[in-house]
């Protein structure tokens, strides 16, 4: 399996789309978490997230601020990465090329999932790093004291972020296997993350009690609860404490494993061709 992991890592790292996705992730989190709120504080203007106050942008809020995007926006991007990594083999017809070299399907698939898990960690670490630099700059600019979160909080935050990001990547992977393509899984995944989840939360849940209950079992609201429990700002889309942080972490981990397993099962059973 390590040979498969190394091969997948090369494919991911050499693929221009991977770096584009990482760049978009960092730019989005920088702009929405720090640039817009800070600009509105500094200039007194209104804009997205403009009601955040200066203490919310300082280094001691790094963990919450870095996790806020993962329930929806950054999660969507990681989902796309998951679809690309697995769906590309269908799109280019390269499953047969790889499998003809002799590895088993599950060996290749496991290599892909490991690579995605590693990529998710890189994304989360990069988001934390960009946040650390941004918040430190703001603190210095505003002559505020620089207090960092404790190492324990940082590790917990990074772990939770990795859990969410990996879960979304696995959702992308299972969608790609199920639909044996790239475009449709990306489209459906984004519709689910950006539209359906919001509609359920904003419209259906307040009207129907059973939808509100059902929501508590879905991956998005659990990721949102996990982020909220670790201090993500409550005005971020998708961040809301509907269940406790510990339960949310367990549910997210459950989805991660379920997505990975279902994808592997489907890939194992179906014909390639």
Partner 1 sequence: MNLPVHTERLTKRYGGLTAVQDLDLTVRAGEVYGFLGPNGAGKTTTLRMLLGLVRPTSGTVRLLGRPPGAGRLGGVGALIEGPAFYPYLSGRDNLRVLARYAGVGADRVSLVLDLVDLTERAGDRYAGYSLGMKQRLGVAAALLKDPRLLILDEPTNGLDPAGMADMRTLIRRLGAGGCTVLVSSHLLGEVEQVCDRVGVISRGRLIAEGSVADLRGATGLRVLADPLEVAAARVGALVGEERVRVVDGGLDLSIEPDRAAWLNAELVDAGVAVRELRPRERDLEQVFFDLIEKGTADVA
Nearer Cβ to partner 1, position 46 or 100?
100
Given 44, 101, 145, 210, the residue binding partner 1 (CB under 8 A)? 101
Given 7, 22, 28, 212, the residue binding partner 1 (CB under 8 A)? 7
Kindly state the smallest distance separating residue 84's Cβ from partner 1, in Å: 11
Kindly state the smallest distance separating residue 10's Cβ from partner 1, in Å: 6
Q: What are phi and psi of 217, to 5 degrees?
A: -100, -5
Q: What are phi and psi of 8, to 5 degrees?
A: -65, -35
The yes or no reply on residue 53 touching partner 1 (CB under 8 A) is no
Name the one range near partner 1 by CB under 8 A: 79-87, 89-97, 122-130, 223-231: 89-97
Kindly state the smallest distance separating residue 14's Cβ from partner 1, in Å: 6
Please give the torsion angle defined by the CA atoms of residues 198, 83, 126 and 67, in that order, rounded to the nearest 10 degrees.
20
Contact status, residue 56 vs residue 20, Cβ threshold 8 Å: no
Alpha-helical regions (H) of the chain: 2-14, 16-30, 36-43, 62-67, 73-91, 95-99, 105-141, 151-179, 183-190, 197-199, 205-207, 209-215, 219-229, 245-269
Contact status, residue 40 vs residue 47, Cβ threshold 8 Å: yes
Given 69, 71, 88, 231, the residue binding partner 1 (CB under 8 A)? 88
Q: Is 18 exposed, middle or buried (CB count within 10 Å of its CB: 0-12, 13-18, 19+)?
A: middle
The yes or no reply on residue 102 touching partner 1 (CB under 8 A) is yes
Nearer Cβ to partner 1, position 16 or 145?
16
Nearer Cβ to partner 1, position 24 or 132?
24
| Interacting residue ranges for partner 1, rule: CB under 8 A | 3-4, 6-7, 10-11, 14-16, 88, 92-104, 107-108, 271-273
């Amino acid at each position: 399996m390590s040979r498969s992991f190394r091969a997948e890592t090369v494919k991911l790292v050499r693929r221009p789309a991977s770096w584009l996705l990482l760049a978009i992730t960092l730019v989005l989190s920088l702009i929405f978490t720090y640039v817009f709120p800070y600009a509105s504080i500094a200039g007194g203007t209104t804009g997205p997230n403009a009601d955040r106050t200066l203490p919310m942008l300082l280094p001691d809020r790094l963990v919450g601020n870095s996790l806020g995007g993962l329930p929806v926006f950054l999660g969507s991007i990681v989902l796309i990465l998951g679809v690309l990594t697995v769906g590309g083999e269908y799109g280019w017809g390269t499953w047969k090329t790889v499998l003809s070299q002799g590895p088993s399907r599950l060996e290749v698939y496991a290599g892909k999932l490991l690579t995605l898990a590693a990529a998710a960690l890189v994304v989360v670490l990069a988001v934390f790093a960009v946040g650390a630099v941004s918040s430190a700059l703001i603190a210095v600019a505003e002559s505020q004291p620089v207090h960092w979160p404790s190492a324990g909080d940082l590790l917990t935050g990074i772990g939770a972020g990795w859990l969410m990001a990996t879960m979304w990547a696995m959702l992308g992977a299972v969608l790609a296997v199920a639909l044996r393509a790239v475009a449709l899984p990306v489209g459906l995944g984004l519709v689910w993350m950006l539209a359906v989840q919001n509609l359920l939360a904003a419209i259906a849940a307040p009207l129907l009690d059973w939808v509100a209950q059902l929501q508590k079992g879905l991956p998005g609201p659990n990721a949102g609860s996990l982020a909220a429990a670790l201090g993500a700002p409550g005005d971020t889309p998708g961040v809301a404490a509907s269940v406790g942080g510990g339960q949310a972490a367990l549910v997210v981990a459950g989805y991660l494993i379920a997505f990975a397993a279902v994808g592997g099962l489907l890939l194992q059973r179906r014909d390639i061709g």
